[in-house]
A and B are shown apart, each in its own frame.
Chain A
Amino acid sequence: QKEVEQDPGPLSVPEGAIVSLNCTYSNSAFQYFMWYRQYSRKGPELLMYTYSSGNKEDGRFTAQVDKSSKYISLFIRDSQPSDSATYLCAMSAAGGTSYGKLTFGQGTILTVHP
């Protein structure tokens, strides 16, 4: 079983829809939670970063972390065709040499059609 599970989709939604992306994890040591967006043939770019449990909002994006359930989510409001990309959740543990190691989910392919 993988440490981080993410539904690969693909997910196809109409423009303006609310998109919900999720990951579950098994490692209780994970303290830092991130969402990366990756366009085709590009490197991942950081979208959202959250430390421990809670919510964080940035424009149309909201990240939620529920450590008790080992579950994280990313919500995209008013989705746009330019949001079409692969979304990767990533996590890291705290302490020692674990800080730098990001463990990624498989990625969810999202298409927003006009």
Chain B
Amino acid sequence: DSGVTQTPKHLITATGQRVTLRCSPRSGDLSVYWYQQSLDQGLQFLIHYYNGEERAKGNILERFSAQQFPDLHSELNLSSLELGDSALYFCASSAGTTGTDTQYFGPGTRLTVL
């Protein structure tokens, strides 16, 4: 158990809908990262927050947004969902923002868009 929790574990929804994925980082970690894992693209970085502030963005779609709250939990919002958004979404956390900080991954949320 990495100490990172994600809810829900599974999510099934329809095209055009909006969903929210939630992540609670390890106790004491200030950084939260979101990744998307699909069969064709592999594991791809989406966005990084540190202590409530956005630090870096990857190839995150405009339909996707995220935020980190004062209690350090984070939410990833996916809207106008398309079939291609079906994937595993992982949250990871680390203590800081340096290259030596280990990223600990949560168990993921499996999103299925029908």
User: Could you tell me the distance between the alpha carbons of A32 and B94 in the complex, rounded to whole angstroms?
Assistant: 15
Whether B103 pairs with A94 at a CB distance below 8 angstroms is no
Number of chain A interface residues as a range: 20 to 34
Considering only residues 66-114 of chain B, those with a C-beta below 8 Å from chain A are 90, 92, 94, 97-108
How far does the Cβ of B60 sit from chain A's closest Cβ, in whole Å?
A: 11
User: Could you tell me the distance between the alpha carbons of A93 and B99 in the complex, rounded to whole angstroms?
Assistant: 8
> With A51-B99, A99-B97, A102-B103 given, is the CB distance from A44 to B56 under 8 Å?
no
Q: Which one of B33, B35, B100, B107 lies within 8 Å of A32 (CB-CB)?
A: B100
**A contact residues vs B (CB 8 Å cutoff):** 31-32, 36, 42-46, 49, 51, 88, 90, 92-94, 97-107
Cross-chain pairs A/B with CB under 8 angstroms, 21 sampled? A42-B107, A43-B105, A45-B104, A49-B100, A51-B99, A88-B43, A90-B43, A92-B99, A94-B99, A97-B55, A97-B56, A99-B97, A100-B56, A100-B94, A100-B103, A101-B48, A102-B33, A102-B35, A104-B43, A105-B42, A107-B43
